[in-house]
Amino acid sequence: MPADIPDTRTEVNCRRKFLESCMGAAGTALVASAISVRVEARDTYQRPPEALGLLYDATLCIGCKACVAACKQANDNPAEFSTTDKLWDTPLDTSGYTFNIIKMYRSGTMATKDDETNGYAFMKTSCMHCADPSCVSACPVTAMTKDPKTGIVAYDAEACVGCRYCVVACPFGIPKYQYDSPTGKIGKCELCRHRYKEGHYSACAEVCPTGATLYGRTSDLLSEAKRRLALKPGSVTTYPRGNLSGGPDQSYEGYVGNYKQHIYGETEYGGTQVLKLSAVDFEKVGMPYLSPNSSASTSETIQHTLYGGLLAPFAVLGVMTYVAKRNVHHEDDAPADKPGKE
């Protein structure tokens, strides 16, 4: 049993060594921070110039859900039921098997469309294809990737370990997992990239009867959105349908909605490739407030500062190894010929 009253000489010795160790630790911290300074903060990524995306204009949406059905078909997803008769595909939210859904905002008597009070409005929920996606930053095995040219955020089930950090990380709650399957995958919109080689584009935009969901280059979609916001509410204008950046002209004339002067996705988290217009406040229709700085950039700045090139960890390890080598001989205090057996 160790004595309660310590040997004074040892204690002094201990204290000196303790101080030395503290200075060693402080030195490590200095070295580490000196190295860290050179690691630059990771800026929020911006959209690539040829980025592809969608423009969803809630004032044009009639809630027909043709896009929901087309998305199911294009992605080969099974129907999901929320009614007892189980006759129709009636998902209440996106899921591992539903990548696109139209939700409804309801207020009071629901008398007029696109009215915040006593009105109703629609909102599309699907992947926003962020310029700086949290899911891509979170994924430990590069199963979530952002195409450098099209900017499409794609998922590779073959790489995925199913940790679901992407599900937790996404501010829009988009990547979703198939919990009912022993081999479940993540399900999310990939902008129908698998249909491009057949000459198709995003199924939701292809079938949208009013052009509420429009496909195209995000730069073109952004100009179109700005054009609409500049128009006088109630005036008449031309609305394109289908593919804004190519394809046949399917435009028609319609009335200009009472837009909020905010293009959702223009700057949120550095911008998204899917843009949205609405007459109802975006937070009320489920689109969260997001700062222009992405959380992915904050997270990666921390990671690169602490672990960039593994310089800081190795510096700390070096000091720790030195200190441990000096101190570790306590281990052998007892003579080796007295093995600790009963």
Partner 1 sequence: MSTLQHARPAPVGGSMFNATTLVCCMLIAVTATIILVRLFFGLSSTTNVNDGYSWGIWVVVDVFIGSALACGGFSMALLVYIFNKGKYHPLVRPALLGSLFGYTLAGAAITFDLGRWWNFWHIFWPGYFNVNSVMFEVAACITLYIIVMWIEFSPVFLERLGLRDARRKLEKVLFIFIALGVVLPMMHQASLGTMLVVMGGQVNPLWQTPIQPLIYLLSAIMLGYGVILFESCVAASAYRREIEVSLLNPMARVMLGIMALFLVVRFTDLVVRGVIGQAFAPTCVALTFWVENACLLGTFLLIGTTEARRNPARLFLAGIAVMLSGIMLRLNGFLIAFDTGPGWNYFPSVPELLVTIGIFAAEVFGYIYITRRFPVLPREETYAQPAHR
Binders of partner 1 among residues 17 to 36 (CB under 8 A) are 17-18, 21-22, 25
**Between 210 and 267, CB nearer to partner 1:** 267
Query: With binding defined as CB under 8 A, does residue 154 bind partner 1?
Result: no
The Cα–Cα gap between 225 and 267 comes to: 13
Subset of 302-321 contacting partner 1 (CB under 8 A):
302-304, 306-307, 313, 316-317, 320-321
**Between 197 and 329, CB nearer to partner 1:** 329
Q: Which of 75, 134, 202, 273 binds partner 1 (CB under 8 A)?
A: 134
Can you give 102-169 as a three-state secondary structure string?
A: EEEEECCCCCEECCCCCEEEEEEECCCCECCCHHHHHCCCCCEEECCCCCCEEECCCCCCCCCHHHHH
Q: Minimal CA–CA distance to 173: which of 157, 153, 188?
A: 188
Query: With binding defined as CB under 8 A, does residue 299 bind partner 1?
Result: yes
Least separation in angstroms between CB 320 and partner 1: 4
Q: Rounded to the nearest 10 degrees, how much is the dihedral formed by the CA atoms of 317, 321, 327, 329? A: 140
Q: Which of 81, 219, 300, 311 binds partner 1 (CB under 8 A)?
A: 300
Q: Which of 141, 223, 230, 284 binds partner 1 (CB under 8 A)?
A: 141
Subset of 79-108 contacting partner 1 (CB under 8 A):
93, 95-96
Query: With binding defined as CB under 8 A, does residue 295 bind partner 1?
Result: yes
The Cα–Cα gap between 295 and 293 comes to: 7
Site map (CB under 8 A) of partner 1, residues 183-222, x = contact: xxxx------------------------------------
Q: Which tokens hold the place of 161?
A: 């370990």
User: Could you tell me if 108 and 117 are in contact, meaning their C-beta atoms sit under 8 angstroms apart?
Assistant: yes
**Between 74 and 160, CB nearer to partner 1:** 160
Burial of residue 79 (number of CB atoms within 10 Å: 0-12, 13-18, 19+)? middle
Least separation in angstroms between CB 307 and partner 1: 6
The Cα–Cα gap between 207 and 224 comes to: 19
**Between 238 and 321, CB nearer to partner 1:** 321
Q: Which of 74, 167, 208, 225 binds partner 1 (CB under 8 A)?
A: 167
Query: With binding defined as CB under 8 A, does residue 283 bind partner 1?
Result: no
DSSP 97: T
Site map (CB under 8 A) of partner 1, residues 246-265, x = contact: --------------------
**Between 178 and 210, CB nearer to partner 1:** 178
Q: Minimal CA–CA distance to 169: which of 62, 296, 42?
A: 296
Residues 6+ apart with CB under 8 A from 309: 39
Q: Which of 168, 236, 238, 252 binds partner 1 (CB under 8 A)?
A: 168
Least separation in angstroms between CB 157 and partner 1: 7
**Between 151 and 257, CB nearer to partner 1:** 151
- Give me the amino acid identity at 230: A
